[in-house]
A and B are shown apart, each in its own frame.
Chain A
């Protein structure tokens, strides 16, 4: 397997969502990609496509050599649960569940990977989350803690791909740097590839590769297809 993500001739257009067309894109195993995506650049459409929630009208989206466009909806959902971890800007947790239950959800939706308590304890420790936080309600945590819990959940099933969508934009500078260190440190252990979307270019130095989403996704916009 050369690449974790492989997109070819993907085009998607639907209702008010921005048009996304990608001729060719590869993300190598273990590669950490910084995707510069200001609003309106089709960022959320791309994330929906990569995670298998939306299906493109044409082209192929291969994740771990499996073509998402050829899978049934339930199979894509199961694939996402097992192989793709996701962290959002904010509100990653169900507010009425405890932190532990929020994390366990990831194992619940991926029956192939039973909850590995040793691994969970380890990443919680790596993410500087103490065990007494686990029984608290998600809303009882600070934003920084919530984001780290989201990372722990995203990495619980040891996914091969981690997608992070502006995960630092709710954090102040000091917390942000710390968060990025912790996030990338944990990812290092699993060897996962990372697609990190942000509008904050100052973060690009943490990553192996920098891409502008407008160039990537808008490449085919000029030529109608």
Chain B
């Protein structure tokens, strides 16, 4: 009966109640959204690169190098020379080295020049190697291996031809169209930026950038002058620090070597401040919306004096009135929390593809995990706590005023 009265009373005031529910839903949306995206970003970044001991590039900030070499975010301001790559890859500690050359695109997807070693050595997640869902690695120039999403979104299959554009924008006016590429392989999905990348041989990158004619001789391989970065695997992980020092003190040109894990944790440290600020804002928004709910309940108290007098006259205890108002607050908060949760979950489902193709962010759909349920519990608890003010006020009124209604 308490439930029936509470829900009927709320329905009777549906406009104000609905607005309050929406304001709580918005704050829940922000709160859960900030928390979820933070966790997902960490997980998504964390699983992108594994098995690489050192990333080497021209001297820049560690975060910058990490972002453009692995996550395809931003651009390199400087390249490192091919000479340095060769010198470093011949060092005694090095087990393998893979060059990366970025800077071109195909319909908004990044094109990366590399060697066949990339498909052997690059690992993601818990040391999972790349695998082909169709075809094989490129064997020469003008051949391309597509990331899973590139192939799926653009509808390419093995044997199709495509043209690469200069620059990395979605729309480019400079196409390297005298050198079409043929698709030789498509990678299995990884949930990392690899899915949005077209892989070609390093020589192909050089080929399409050479100006003028006269290179009809496809016999010799095109050696690049410079590359964007290199991935290094060492024979023994113990050597990482010494090798890193060697890179950072490299004589021929200023280079930077970073350990992906360390650079990531530096990035998170930097992001930590922003995250905490966002979380604080989200909490304040929640508090504001719950205060709004309390105000609504308080404002309704006066006009509900008659209602309370009627309930008291029929034999309701004053605590029935207290419970009624508490229950109303809990129902409002619960409705807001569920609505906010569903809104966020729905939006994530809708934006999932767009986020991954535009930003390489892999945000999984919202799970009803322990921490999410914890937040929802916190919201309902906080609502119940704040509603104690109107609830206790009306309880005291019910006790002292009884059947008397101020008119």
Q: Mark A93-110, 1 if CB is under 8 A from B, else 0.
A: 111110001001110111
**Is the beta-carbon distance between B8 and A97 smaller than 8 angstroms?**
yes
The majority secondary structure among interface residues of chain B is helix
**Chain B residues whose CB sits within 8 angstroms of the CB of A109 once the complex forms:** 314-316
Given contacts A91-B310, A96-B12, contact A86 B317 (CB under 8 A): no
* Residues of chain A within 8 A of B402, CB atoms compared: 48, 51, 53-54
A88 pairs with B403, CB closer than 8 A? yes
Residue pair B404, A80 in contact (C-beta under 8 Å): no
Q: Which of A28-69 contact B (CB under 8 A)?
A: 44, 47-48, 51, 53-54
What residues on A are CB-neighbors of B1 within 8 Å?
104-105, 108
Q: How many residues of B contact A (CB 8 A)?
A: 25
- Is A92's CB under 8 angstroms from B310's CB? yes
Within 8 A of A (CB), among B311-334: 311-318
Given A73, A101, A106, which contacts B317 in the complex, CB threshold below 8 Å? A73
- Is B4 in the interface zone, CB < 8 Å from A? yes
In the complex, whether A77 has a CB less than 8 A from a CB of chain B is yes
* B60 within 8 A of partner (CB): no
CB–CB B310/A93 < 8 A: yes
The answer to whether A105 touches B11, judged by C-beta atoms less than 8 angstroms apart, is no
B47 part of interface (Cβ distance < 8 Å): no
In the bound complex, CA of A165 to CA of B5 (Å): 25
A105 proximity list for chain B (CB < 8 A) = 1, 311, 314
Q: Is the CB of B315 within 8 A of A77?
A: yes
Q: Determine whether A78 belongs to the interface, using a CB cutoff of 8 Å to chain B.
A: yes
Q: Which of A48, A74, A78, A94 is the one whose CB lies under 8 Å from B5?
A: A94
- Can you list 26 A-B contacts (CB < 8 A)? A14-B400, A44-B403, A48-B402, A48-B403, A51-B313, A53-B403, A73-B317, A77-B312, A77-B315, A77-B317, A80-B315, A81-B315, A86-B313, A91-B306, A92-B310, A93-B310, A94-B5, A94-B9, A95-B12, A96-B8, A96-B9, A97-B8, A101-B4, A101-B8, A104-B1, A110-B315
Give 4 nearest A-B pairs by CB, closest first.
A81-B315, A53-B402, A96-B12, A109-B315
Residues of chain A whose beta carbon lies under 8 Å from any beta carbon of chain B: 14-15, 17, 44, 47-48, 51, 53-54, 73-74, 77-78, 80-82, 86, 88, 91-97, 101, 104-106, 108-110, 153, 165
